[in-house]
Amino acid sequence: MAVQELTQDNFESTITGNDIVIMDFWAPWCGPCQQFAPTFEEASNKHDDVVFAKVNTDEEQGIAGAFQIRSIPTLMIFREQVIVFSQPGVLSAAQLDEVLGKVRELDMEAVRADIEKQQQEQEQQAGGNA
């Protein structure tokens, strides 16, 4: 599957319409981003069940800002519309394959339960501090 460019126009439909989406936040002037691009492209051809998307942080500052991207490249993976991985820096092909394997193995019911529990704890703490 080819790597697609992610923009404000197709962001929401890409995330909501696919089970696993991996985003590469990059910029044309970024050396490490350019070095990682072939690895990302090659992985997209091996993992047909994953949408590989690139976010040009120069052109899509709104998306980059929404996710508080501070360094590039940064990889972010959504599974069932939940961010399950976010890490700045370059991964090797083997590391990228390993991460995607772990993402596929996630029990998303357990992940959602953990998120709900954390939100409840934060609400309780906020209520206690008011």
Answer whether 67's CB lies under 8 Å from 18's CB. Answer: no
- Residue tagged active-site, from 30, 37, 106, 111: 30
Active site residue 33: yes
- Residue tagged active-site, from 20, 21, 33, 53: 33
Sheet holding 50-56, edge to edge: 4-5, 50-56, 20-26, 74-79, 82-88
Q: Which of left, alpha, beta for 65 (phi over 0: left; psi -120 to 50: alpha)?
A: alpha
Answer whether 85's CB lies under 8 Å from 77's CB. Answer: yes
What is the set of active-site residues?
30, 33
